[in-house]
Structure 1
Amino acid sequence: MITRSITSRTALALSLGGILLLSACASGSANSTASTTSTSSAEPSAAASAIDIPNAWSGVIDATAIPLGDDRTSTSPAVDYLYSCKTDFSGRGPVNGGPWIDYDAGTWDSTTKATVEGEVSWPQAYYDEEVGHDTRTILTANLPTEQMTGTFPIADADPAKEFDRNPNEIDEKLVELTLTVAPAVADDPSCVAMGAVGVLKYGVYLYNAVDASGGDAVAHETQDLCDGHPDGGDYYHYHDVPSCLLAATAEAGSTLVGYALDGFGIYVERDSAGNLPTNADLDECHGHTSTVLFDGVEQEMYHYSATMEFPFTVGCYVGDPAPVPPHEH
């Protein structure tokens, strides 16, 4: 196991008053609001609730034949699609499509996908929530508090480099993200920009489901043992709820694992057999309304739910997202 110590080089402040979402080649800053009550946690949630979880979802996804999410960005909300603010994808994704992708069948096999080598721990990682009257301020180093990462840049000797030449490093960042503690459903859903759509309670950004070319990032991009990798700004991130976090959640019930930028929770929900929902169980923004544990209270509210299918977590925002300053992907 490799242990790495890093000095922070970049400070990033994110607030609902003006969040600059991160992409493969961009980062930015804005001010945030201080809160009054502080709670720290390295766990995905304080507890799991089985309230409103069905005995069985509508179906089960085969991990060896997950539907490929290529060409599934849309200009309006739709189940199975990412309602994307970006419509012209001129960037380049991974160099080669891996043998785990069956283009003829339109599926990919998560059990045989290449993984970036390395087991790097980050003792300086932290995650803290400060909850005030109407705001939730999240402070992190954007490093995983509970899991290790792979070695980046991808080494020349790493077999994964045949499929993805990610030259970026993982850098410690000072992240301050301010969200509302009382999210509300807006009149209309809104599109998702490139880069961050939320943050996970392991202290790491959650990005949207596509790569720079508009393809299915989870299927195509070669990631590490916990399904993460760095972008062009050296920000480590996930494109779905990572397998390491999934393994740490309850075998049945509902577990809060993070927050979207509109303040709504992101949950891992399992039926009595331990299965995740399918897209058919969720709405156009990849969520639904049911009773969940939120801020220690079981309450009926909207929330996003993790699946094995594209777009994986947030398909669009049901609440009002932060205004995003122009940036280049």
Structure 2
Amino acid sequence: MYCASVFFKRLTTIIVSTLVLVLSGCGSSSSDDNTSQAAANNQPNSSSDTTNSDTSTDTSTDSNTDQGTGDNSDSSDSGGDNNSSDDDSNDTAQVVGSTDGVLCDYLYNEFNDSASVQATSNADWSCDSSDRQLTANGIPDHATGTFPNQANPNTISEKNVSVSYTLTPTKTDSTTTLGGPSGATGYVLNGVKIDANTAGSCDDSGNSCSLVGNTGNWSIEALGQTSFDFGTDDNNAHVQPDGSYHYHGMPEGFIELRSGNEVTMTLIGWAADGFPIYARYGYSEAENAQSELKVMTGSYQLVETVSSNRPSTSVYALGTFAQDWEYVAGSGDLDECNGRFGVTPEFPQGIYHYYATDSYPYFQRCVKGEL
């Protein structure tokens, strides 16, 4: 009996000890798992974080790139009816020193129901490996004034416009005066030519003046004077005897179609030397695209010493004739051809470019590039 009693006591002790070990082992296992999971939760997930980081970076980069492209596109393609292409290559120049990639597929072909037009306006710009070509009919794409009118007896008619400008314009230290028989200084994107001078003139006495012929010594200005009426409309344009509608100054109707009333740097055309032409606004710091936009002013001032051969200023106020103006470097924003070097939305690396201005000479009368 004693042995049996001892045997059962030892058996009980062994069973209890075994249960304690089993329970203890289970508890330990549970504790380790929880600790491991807690540790895991406190560690960054390299796979997840790497993926999220790359996704964030890529999204940010793509977003910024696309946004930048979109901004340029909006700037250059405002008034979308005037440019049929949505190609991003039309936003900025593809190569520094070249205008290739900027408005190389500009196409407009719409009927103009303005009372004095009643014709389809067509302008087709394209680029090949070296040149930019324009084929157009000279019909404006915006409303015009009434033509013929009392001061301008000519009717707007289609013209055969075919020009070719280099894609790699080269600025020189010399100037070439254009206009009239020497040819247009450039064309607005709608295919209408820029010809700021007039054929009007007066002799020295001022008693013999004519708005055609250009035979006198004093060349009459179309804009900025009140002595002579050339019948220009609100677009600072009128019609030549051969039916050519052309601009003497700011092409307001076209600018309205292209950029609305926004304060923006608007590319409106190309000069005969291949450099771009902008309207009214430019960066206040020529080479800083982050600087504020401002209205560009020409650097011409009325002469201080009036020639004794000039018709009397009491009859024809200063500013009536082209000879009343002289270029004064630094008096405005631009050079003698109404241009400057600087950055633009389409040319972020900088390019020489011209401006249409509200101040004299209104449009460039000369070009700085090789022809």
Q: TM-score, normalised by structure 2?
A: 0.49
Count of aligned positions = 202
Match for residue 120 of structure 1?
116
Deviation of 1:45 (Å): 11
Q: Distance in 1 between matches of 2:356 and 2:165?
A: 20
Q: TM-score, normalised by structure 1?
A: 0.55
Given candidates 217, 224, 229, the residue that maps to 2:222 is 217
Deviation of 1:225 (Å): 3.7
Q: Distance in 1 between matches of 2:84 and 2:270?
A: 11
Match for residue 207 of structure 1?
195
Change (3 A) 1:141 1:292: same
Given candidates 148, 163, 166, the residue that maps to 1:153 is 148
Q: Distance in 2 between matches of 1:293 and 1:273?
A: 13
Q: Distance in 1 between matches of 2:121 and 2:263?
A: 28
Deviation of 1:210 (Å): 3.6
Check whether the contact 2:185–2:366 (CA below 8 A) recurs between aligned residues. Answer: no
**Which structure would you say has the larger RCO, counting Cα contacts within 8 Å and 6 or more residues apart?**
1
Alignment of 1:173-184 (within 5 A): 173-184=159-170
Amino acid at match of 1:245: F
Match for residue 266 of structure 2?
255
2:277 corresponds to 1:266 = yes
Amino acid at match of 1:301: I
2:324 corresponds to 1:315 = no
Deviation of 1:191 (Å): 2.0
Given candidates 338, 347, 351, the residue that maps to 1:286 is 338
Amino acid at match of 1:176: S
Given candidates 131, 137, 142, the residue that maps to 1:141 is 137
Q: Distance in 2 between matches of 1:258 and 1:122?
A: 24
Check whether the contact 2:197–2:248 (CA below 8 A) recurs between aligned residues. Answer: yes
Amino acid at match of 1:215: I
Match for residue 303 of structure 1?
353
Deviation digits for residues 122-166 of structure 1, max 9, x if unmatched?
441111111011100011110112x12233222xxxxxx2xx2x2
Asked which structure has the greater CA Rg, the reply is: 2
Match for residue 242 of structure 1?
251
Amino acid at match of 1:235: S
Alignment of 1:40-79 (within 5 A): 42-43=82-83
Q: Distance in 2 between matches of 1:208 and 1:298?
A: 29
Change (3 A) 1:269 1:311: closer
Check whether the contact 2:271–2:277 (CA below 8 A) recurs between aligned residues. Answer: yes
Deviation digits for residues 158-182 of structure 1, max 9, x if unmatched?
xxx2xx2x22211111211111011
Task: Say which structure is richer in helix.
Answer: 2
Q: Distance in 2 between matches of 1:153 and 1:292?
A: 38
Unpaired runs of 5+ residues, structure 2, are 1-79, 93-113, 202-218, 283-290, 299-331
